[in-house]
Structure formats: C-alpha cells, structure tokens
Amino acid sequence: MADRRSEPEMPQAKRLRTGDMDPASNPYLAHHYEDEGNGYGSRNGGRNGGSTQTGLSGFKRHQTTAAQADVAENGPLNPFNNNPLSPRYFDILKTRKDLPVHKQRQEFLNMFQQTQILVFVGETGSGKTTQIPQFVLFDDLPHFNGKLVACTQPRRVAAMSVAQRVANEMDVKLGEEVGYSIRFEDVTGPKTILKYMTDGMLLREAMHDHNLTRYSCIILDEAHERTLATDILMGLLKEVALRRPDLKIVIMSATLDAQKFQRYFNDAPLLAVPGRTHPVEIFYTPEPERDYVEAALRTVLQIHANEPEGDILLFLTGEEEIEDACRKITLEADEMTREADAGPLKVYPLYGTLPPHQQQKIFEPAPPPTRKGGPPGRKVVVGTNIAETSLTIDGIVYVVDPGFSKQKVYNPRIRVESLLVSPISKASAQQRAGRAGRTRPGKCFRLYTEAAFKKELIEQTHPEILRSNLANTVLELKKLGIDDLVHFDLMDPPAPETLMRALEELNYLACLDDDGDLTALGKLASEFPLDPALAVMLISSPEFYCSNEILSLTALLSVPQVFVRPASAKKRADEMKALFAHPDGDQLTMLNVYHAFKGADAQADSKKWCREHFLSLRALQSADNVRQQLKRIMEKSELDLISTDFNDKNYYTNIRRALVAGFFMQVAKKDSSGKTYKTVKDDQSVLLHPSTVLQVDSEWVLYNEFVLTTKNYVRTVTSIKPEWLLDIAPTYYDISTFKKGEIRTALERVNDKVKRKQQTKRPGR
DNA sequence: GAGCACTGC
C-alpha cells in the first residue's frame, strides 16, 4: 500500500470570486457549483461511476451500525473515495478507537437514527469535535443525496485546525471530502461532504437559504459558549426542523446546563460521554482577599517557592494589569533566585492584542535549572480569558484564579456597550481549573472563599445576546425571514427594552419601515458584514460622491485600532500620528493613513513603514481585506462606486456629509461651558477622548463610539455642520421631538438660518 | 490626558 502523501498538503485557499455575473449568487457561497448534480457520481466527475463498489456498499441511510462502520474504516480502500489507505491512516485509526467517544458509537447511532434533534455532551478530551461528525458521515451518507454535513465552531482557528485533523484522520486532502469555510477563505469543493465552518458563516448562508437546503445534518459544536451566532442559529434550526423533517441536528456542548439545551429543543434526547482529563485539586482562600492582584502575585511566588515542578497559569483581566503583574513577578522571582536558591522563573504575558509572534512565546519550554542539580525552572503565563477557551497551553499544572474577567455589558437606556471587570461564573471557574489538568494531575488556587464560589458566582456567564446592542442581530433575524421577533423562540430572550432600542435604531436608519418590515435599504444593509450604521453610510456614499473613500473608511472602522502607541514611546507615536492629522477629525486622519499606506513608499516595505510610523500592519492589511470584500458586495448589489477627484474643493466635505448619513444618531454638541459636550437627544455629558486629533473648537461632532471608562468619552470624532443633520436626517432631527434646551435652541437657529438662505436664493417662495 | 476582555460576518 503506497503512502500517497508523505507531506501534509496545505490547501490552496479559494478566494471568493469577483465580478460574479449572477446577481442571485451569494458571495459567501463561493463553492456553490452550478454543475452540482444530485448524485455523487456527477459531483466527483464520475470518477467512481454510479456502480463502483465502495466500502459503503450495502449501507442504508440511517440504518447503519457501528460494526458496519468499523469494517468500512478498516479498509483496504477509503470508503469515501475508493483510494488506497495510507499507513498513517491506520496509525491514527488506532488512537481514534481509544477515544472515550468511540465506546459509545452504537449508542450514538441508535439515538441519531431515532430522533431529529440530539443533544450531545462531552468534556474536553472526549474526541467529540473530531469523531462525532465522522460517525454522522457513515450513517447520514450525505453524498448519496448530494448534500453536506456541517459542523460549526465559534472560532476560525478551530474550524481550520479541526478540519485539517479530520482530513488526516479520513486520509483525504483538505478541501476535498473534508473542508472548511471561514470569512475570506473557503477551502471546500464539489466533493466536500463534511464542512467545518464558523457559526457566523452558517448564519450568513442561512440569510440566503432559509431552510439550509444544502445540508442533511447540522452539528452545532461548543453550543455552551452561547455566542450570538450560535443562539440565533439554535432559534432558526428549531424552526427549520419543522419545515424540514429530513434534516438532522446535533447540539454539542460541555456538560454544564445540558438539560437547558434538552428542554429548549422540545426534550431532545441526551447522550453524555466522559472526558479524559486529570484530576485537579481545588484550594480556596479562607478569607476574602482585598486586593486580588496582590493576592495573585503572592500565590504565584508561593507556588514557585514550595510546589514541585510544573508551569503556572494566572488569570487577570486586561493588558495593563497583566504587563504590570509580569514586571512585579519577574522582579520578585529574580530576588528569590539570588537570595533563596529558587529555580529560575520565566514570565509571559498573554492577551488578544499582543502580536502573534509574542503570543507564540507562551509555548516555549520552562527555563532549565541555573546550575546542574539545582531547583528546576518554571514558566508563568499571565493571561486574560483568551487562555480559558481560545488558547491551550500544555504543561500547566498550577492555575491561579482571582475570579474576575472583563465582560461586555450593554445598557439599553443610554445605548452604550462597555467593558466592566466582573466576577466570573461557576462554569468559567471550572473551565479555568480544568486548564491545570491537561497533561497530569494539577492544582487550582481560587482567590475567593468556597462560600463565595457557592453563593455569589452565577452558574453561567450571561449569553452574549443579553449583553449586546441588538441592532445588527435584529437586522439579521429580519433577513432570515423571521417577521415576528417577539415570538421568535430564543433560548434566552433579551430584555424587551433592548429589542425596542434596536427596532427604533433600525427605523431611524430607514432599514425597517414603521411596521417593522425590512425596507429595500434594510435588505441591502443586511448583505454587508457590518453594523447597520456603517452599512447605511456605505450604501449612501454614492449620493455623496465618495464611495471609494467611504469604502476605505468603513473597512478601517471595522478592524482593530490602526494606531500603535507603546508605553515606551508615547511621544514619538503621537508625533507620527500628527503627520497624518486632518484638522476636521479622526475619521479623515484614518483615511489619510490608509492612502499613505497604499502609496508607493509604504508598499515598498510596508513592515518597515508601519514600524516607523507607529501603525499596525496587521490592522491595515486586515482593513485591505475587508475593503475588498465590501467592494465585491457593492458591485454585486449594483451600487455605483463614485468619487470625485482628490483636488475637488468638496472632497473632504463630501466624506463628512456621508458620515452623517450613517452616524446622525451619534452626534454631540459643545456645551455653553465650552469644555464638555452633550449628546443629542440623550443629553449625556461627554468629553472628547484625549486621543483625538480634533481641536476643541468644533461646535458639533460626530462620534464613532462612546466609551465608558474613568469618564464618559466619545472616541474617533469628526467635526460636522448642524445644517447637514437637518438636511440628511430630517426625521431624526425633527425639532419638535427635541426637548427644550441648548440643543433644541441651536437647531432652531440653524433651521431659521437655512430658511432665510433659501428665501433669499429663491425670492417669492 | 488615555486602559480594547474575547469572538464573528
């Protein structure tokens, strides 16, 4: 038997097609081949023919057994493509059969065959993400009907890496029988029968195919994480299940709260599989700690001094806290090494905004002893929640958990999302502790009392849908064909006030009419992977003769901050930023940055150029990527790309007016005091964020976001003229709806001025 | 005079 592939082959990522001629085609379904037949034979070019015997001959859909699958898996030919199986395949097969989930294959099949919706719970190490979809393939046989099995993941990296792993397990090339689909990258083809994808990607597909007709089975993995996309998909699948009795649905989750999923899906049957992890001993503090950071540092140093070999993971809440803690631990540990003969201690920070090469450092091995036979070295990783789910570090034996994390909260009353340091949930605490038992038995030190754990921590972190502004979600639901939002069955329905705010916002943006139905503009806006205000601004941009500029700006506003400001070089970074500054504000400054970045000088060596100018290359490249995607959607939607010459006297005014078309609800006016600003309608006192390039002589500003930290700030601001508000958003700026006060008076004055001008221009009217 | 936890389209 020849090993056809000694080298793992990396997929040639298929980029989304540009300039697609078919207006009905969905840019997210790049692999929706027109020649896709109903039978497998036509899909793989007839290579197998219709009559060729495969390892699956004799398999009857939804009537197979684990024993049958076992025989087919033993070869000699690959049951899905009739190719000879490689030695590597058989090596992996052995380890697969040892996974806990394998013992329950028949039990799984019995349930899968008997019911439409199944809840499957498995702890880490059970093998559920890689094995269950394969179990499904052997029984659901999607290729017999020209369908696919989808398995969703909350994160891109997971979708990519699991797909690669399963392709190896099935001895197929990634992108053929097994593939993945994430934003910007679709590695699937006409032969694909198992597709790993992000939950957001499946949601996008559902917006164009409300019944998800391409799939014969949908597996939602990591459902317990309760991302916005997962929650919406669950609600949708519940409805689709009624319309499509042939569709199978598997909800996979961690053990906690399994009954909630069962109840939600009309008492769906449950299958539980044990995980394979090592025991973790939990320690609590006898008394509550006053200062959790100080207690955390003390605990880390005590572990280093007293506990046997093994690495430490400490959970803190944010960048600054982490960098500060790293400095302090390093100082103290060096002293311990010098004076108390402790082993060397290497400390690594870990948080999301850290560049990838620095994130990778956490995988470096612990330092060796300073001298032969001396006490062993140790590694400490000080990280945010990113270490709780997204990144797994093997070799961690000790976890220090102060019990806090930064969480997004939404206040519908003032329409502001903000980040708040809050106590974690029991589920989170359990997940954190589990990080100590990946390779051998470990210990977890909780810096709170056992009583606090039992009585004060909530069971689960509130799902994202209860903590977000839902404008975007409501638009998505409408596009999914859900007309009656109030009766749409979500697992945790959001507060009516939050829903009302979202409907109101979409109505002002003219995405929904007064009956709450999607308008033409709303339909267009839902095509874009953007917040509604950004989408509306982009769609309106041709009217303001600046589509190309707004396209760039929209992309820039939907990626992480492009300006880099390291603590060690604040002054220099500010000087560099000043080079790009536009007197009318930050949005125009960002546009200047983008134009410079696309210029010849910068493109010659973009890495060097970005470093010199204190800009994030990653963010700019990502903006470039987003821009391309948005441009394709604009072209497909037949939106004109109109711009004036750069030297046109209205070039920047046009852009500022286009900004108003999307962000007229995010405007503030300077107070009579001249120091602070007041937001229109809400009457919130705000300050311009100190990072702004705008000089404080601007009477009216439009802002991109409201940040609640030590003070109320509006960040990323542009100066605008009040007459534009009356002109571009007359419904929202209907003066009679404003309460008496400075803002109303100011608007009235502007209105009078405009009227007078019109009269002098057109006498007699 | 500043603090962006983490994802996703």
pLDDT range class, residue A12, cuts 50, 70, 90 = very low
Non-local CB neighbours of A340 within 8 Å, separated by 6+ positions: A305
Residue A386 beta carbon within 7 A of nucleic strand B: yes
DSSP bridge pairs for A418: A409
How confident is the model at residue A557, as a pLDDT?
A: 94
Distance A412 CA to B2 C1' (A): 25
Give CA–CA dist A587/A747, Å, rounded. 24
Distance A29 CA to B9 C1' (A): 13
pLDDT tens readout for residues A75-86? 789 999 999 999
Q: Which pLDDT tens digit goes with each residue over A352-384? A: 888 778 888 888 889 988 888 888 899 999 999
The single-letter code of the amino acid at A753 is K
Looking at residues A517-545, what average pLDDT do you find? Answer: 95
- Check residue A441 and give its pLDDT: 92
Q: Please, which positions of strand B sit below 7 A from a protein CB?
A: 1-9
A48 pLDDT more than 60: no
Answer whether A228's CB lies under 8 Å from A494's CB. Answer: no
Evaluate the CA torsion angle A501, A502, A507, A510 in order and state its sign: positive
Question: Any atom of strand B under 7 A from CB of A179?
Answer: no
Distance A61 CA to B8 C1' (A): 34
Q: Report the range of poorest mean pLDDT among A35-44, A117-126, A161-170.
A: A35-44
Residues 244-283 of A with CB under 7 A from strand B: none
Nucleic strand B within 7 A of Cβ A482:
no
Rounded Cα distance between A286 and A283, Å, is 9
Question: Per-residue pLDDT for A199 more than 90?
Answer: yes
Residue A387: its pLDDT value, please? 86
Mean pLDDT of A701-717: 88
A699 band by pLDDT with thresholds 50, 70 and 90: very high
Q: What is the DSSP letter of A267?
A: S
Residue A195 Cβ < 7 Å to strand B: no
- Asked if the Cβ of residue A29 lies within 7 A of any atom of strand B, the reply is no
Q: Which one-letter DSSP state was computed for residue A481?
A: T
Nearest Cα neighbor of A39 from A30, A27, A47 is: A47
Give pTM, 2 decimals: 0.88
Token pair, residue A631, equals 């441009």
> Residue A472 pLDDT more than 80?
yes
Give the pLDDT confidence score for residue A388 in this predicted structure: 85
| Calpha distance A67→A8 (Å, rounded) | 30
Q: Which DSSP helix (H) or strand (E) runs through A286?
A: none
What pLDDT does A52 receive?
58
- Window A285-324, strand B contacts by Cβ < 7 Å: 317-320
Strand B: which residues 399-428 of A lie within 7 A (CB)?
405-408, 419
**CB–CB of A668/A725 below 8 Å?**
no
Query: Which nucleotide's C1' atom has the smallest distance to the CA of A709?
Result: B3
653-682 on A, CB < 7 Å from strand B: none
Q: Is the CB of A691 under 7 A from strand B?
A: yes
**Model pLDDT for residues A20-39, shown as the tens digit of each residue:** 333 344 444 433 433 333 33
Residue closest to B3 C1′ by Cα: A320
Q: Which nucleotide lies at the shortest CA–C1' distance from A387?
A: B6
Phi then psi for residue A100, to 5 deg, are -55, -35
A353 CB and strand B closer than 7 A: yes
Our measurement of CA A683 to C1' B2, in angstroms, reads: 23
Rounded to an integer, the average pLDDT of A747-763 is 86
Shortest CA to C1' contact from A577: nucleotide: B2
Quick one: angle between helices A105-114 and A66-73, nearest 10?
120
Q: Which among A698, A655, A688, A690 is positioned nearest to A553, based on CA atoms?
A: A655
Q: Which nucleotide is nearest to A560 (CA to C1')?
A: B4
Which of the nucleotides lies closest to A390 (Cα–C1')? B6
**Does A679 or A341 have the greater pLDDT score?**
A679
Q: What is the CA radius of gyration of chain A?
A: 29
pLDDT of residue A764: 52
Number of helices (H), then strands (E), belonging to chain A: the values are: 27, 21
pLDDT band at A762; cut points 50, 70, 90: low
* C1'-nearest nucleotide to the CA of A156: B8
Backbone angles phi, psi at A406, to 5 degrees: -85, 130
Question: What's the confidence (pLDDT) of residue A408?
Answer: 86
pLDDT at residue A47, as a whole number:
38
Whether the per-residue pLDDT at A18 is higher than 60: the answer is no
CB of A84 within 7 Å of some strand B atom: no
Q: How far is the CA of A183 from the C1' of B9 (A)?
A: 7
pLDDT, tens digit (0-9, with 9 covering 90-100), for A608-623: 999 999 999 989 999 9
Distance A71 CA to B7 C1' (A): 40
State the nearest residue by CA to the C1' of B1. A690
Name the token pair of A265.
């899906």
Nearest amino-acid residue to B9, taking CA and C1': A529
Is there contact between A229 and strand B, defined as CB under 7 Å from any strand atom? yes
Work out if A28's Cβ lies within 7 angstroms of strand B. Answer: yes
